[in-house]
Each structure stands twice: as structure tokens, then as C-alpha cells.
Amino acid sequence: MASGTSYLYMESDLTLELQNLRDKDNVAETGATVTASLYAFATLLIKAGAAVDKGGAPNEVGLPIDTGHGLETGDVIRIVGTIYYDGEWTLTGSSANEIIFESAYTTETLIGDETVYVGILNGTGIDLPHVSDGNYAGAFPDTVVPLREGSDYYLIYDVDADPTFLFIRKKVKAAYYQGE
């Protein structure tokens, strides 16, 4: 099982590192698939209610959300806390009180404390290849929306290391480091 990281560095060249990834026996993890995504620090809550089968080909699902969410078609979100719809999605539509995305439909009644994180434009799903024992690194594309230094964001790592999947969420403050 992959567990924990010690440091996050975001340099002016947009590189990102996940360092010191270890398995349950404290051995450096070398075979994991790691992606990183940046999300705005503010989160939204799903409203209590039912998931809705919107139909279509491919099929779409609607989830109730608070009015005034500000989400639009094309926004990348991550849903956490549902039974069937956790994960990263690109919105195919929205209304004042609903978000819509492509997914197979499964009946689910939402209790109202499920969370939606809003992705930073071009800052989600960034591959971090293995570079040395327990260390993974990659770069955000030049098109990532600039972060405000000193502002808070969520950095979410998806780590797939046989046989488990680990989801690491870390509140980070945007800071730039000029390498030597």
C-alpha cells in the first residue's frame, strides 16, 4: 500500500514532485502509477436527493448541487463521498441546481455531505512518472491557469500501487521556488 509523501515543490518551470512514496513495509514504491491534480480550495456540497439518469449516448447522470455553484460545461470536477460517482469528471452540462456528466447510471440517494472540488484549468490529471526510488515527477502544462502566490489550493494525488489505490489530499499554499 502506498503511503504518504514528505514534500511538494512547485518550481517556476511548473515541475511537481511527489517524494518518498513508501509501501506498507516502508520500502520505496517504484511501480505506482501517479497523477496529480490541482483544485480550488473552495469546495461545493452535493444536495440531498437522487442521482438522475439523463439518458443519451453516451449516457449522462445529473446530481443535485447547491444553487449558485458557478459551474459550467467543460469544467473539471472531482466528486468525493458517493457510492457510485466518486472520481474526476468533465461537466457536459449544468443548471442552477444540477451538475451533469457522462457516466453509466446507477441508482443512488445522496445524503448531502458529498463534496465537489473544482479543478484548475489545465491543472488536472498530470502524469508523474517514476524518476528514482519512491520519487515521482512531472510538469504542469504551460497552459495551466496561473496560481496566486500565497493562496490555498488542494493538491490531490491519485496513486495506483498494486494492490491498493490511495487518494492523498493535501492543502497547499501556492509558492514558487527558483531552483539553483
What are the residue ranges spanned by the domains of the chain? Answer: 15-36+122-173, 47-113
Burial annotation 134-166 (CB, 10 A radius, 16+ → b, else e): bbbbbebeeebeebeeeeebbbbbbbebeeeeb
CB proximity list for 147: less than 8 A, separation 6 or greater? 10, 38, 120, 153, 174
Q: Distance from first CA to last CA of the chain, Å, rounded?
A: 34
Q: pLDDT at position 152, please?
A: 75
Dihedral, CA atoms, 7, 148, 42, 54, nearest 10 degrees? -100
User: Mean pLDDT of all residues in the chain?
Assistant: 81
pLDDT digits 0-9 by tens, 111-166: 999 999 888 877 888 888 999 988 888 888 777 766 666 677 788 888 887 655 55
Lowest-confidence region among 3-7, 9-13, 79-83, 90-94: 3-7
Q: pLDDT at position 36, please?
A: 85
Give pTM, 2 decimals.
0.75
pLDDT for 13 beyond 70 = no
How distant is the alpha carbon of residue 88 from its chain centre?
A: 6
Q: pLDDT at position 1, please?
A: 26
Q: pLDDT at position 160, please?
A: 82
pLDDT for 76 beyond 80 = yes
Q: pLDDT at position 163, please?
A: 53
Whether the CB-CB separation of 40 and 117 falls below 8 Å is answered with yes
